[in-house]
């Protein structure tokens, strides 16, 4: 479908269990793009920051939605997953606490990604 596209898709989710449909949409769009071969950078911000911790995605439930642990696993395997620096700090989440493969970075990295040639950013 989209195989061969070099354009980076940057998806930022600000929603977690507080807005489950919006959260699930972000994970679904990002993982669908990654499955299709699109380069994806997925950002966990706000309440979605909790999903950077082991076991948290498993606690998420939304009827008729793909399981969040599966989507997160796909993104970790096929894309880049970033936890917002400030969001992590506000929740006392340190680099040793996050799932393997998740990086912690801030606004400068986000701006660099979204301003890259051909990048497309979507915020949920």
> pLDDT tens-digit profile of 82-118?
999 999 999 999 999 999 999 999 999 999 999 999 9
Q: Global pTM? A: 0.94
CA gap 24, 13 in Å, rounded: 9
Q: Find the mean pLDDT for residues 73-84.
A: 98
Closest CA to 26 of 44, 38, 8, 39: 44
pLDDT of res. 13 = 98
CA gap 45, 82 in Å, rounded: 9
Between CA 13 and CA 19, with CA 17 as vertex, the angle to 5 degrees is 65
- Summarize pLDDT for 28-67 with one digit per residue, the tens: 999 999 999 999 999 999 999 999 999 999 999 999 999 9
pLDDT of res. 102 = 98
What are the chain's domains? 9-123 (3.40.1260.10)
CA gap 101, 95 in Å, rounded: 11
pLDDT of res. 6 = 73
């Amino acid at each position: 479908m989209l195989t061969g596209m070099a354009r980076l898709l940057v998806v930022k989710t600000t929603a977690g269990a507080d807005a489950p449909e919006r959260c699930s949409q972000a994970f679904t769009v990002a993982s669908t793009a990654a499955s299709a071969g699109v380069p994806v950078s997925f950002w966990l911000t706000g309440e979605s920051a909790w999903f950077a911790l082991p076991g948290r995605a498993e606690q998420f439930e939304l009827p008729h939605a793909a399981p969040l642990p599966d989507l997160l696993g796909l993104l970790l395997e096929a894309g880049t997953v970033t936890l917002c620096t400030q969001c992590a700090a506000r929740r006392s989440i340190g680099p040793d606490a996050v799932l393997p493969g998740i990086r912690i970075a801030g606004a400068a990295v986000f701006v660099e990604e979204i301003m890259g040639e051909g990048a497309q950013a979507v915020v949920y």
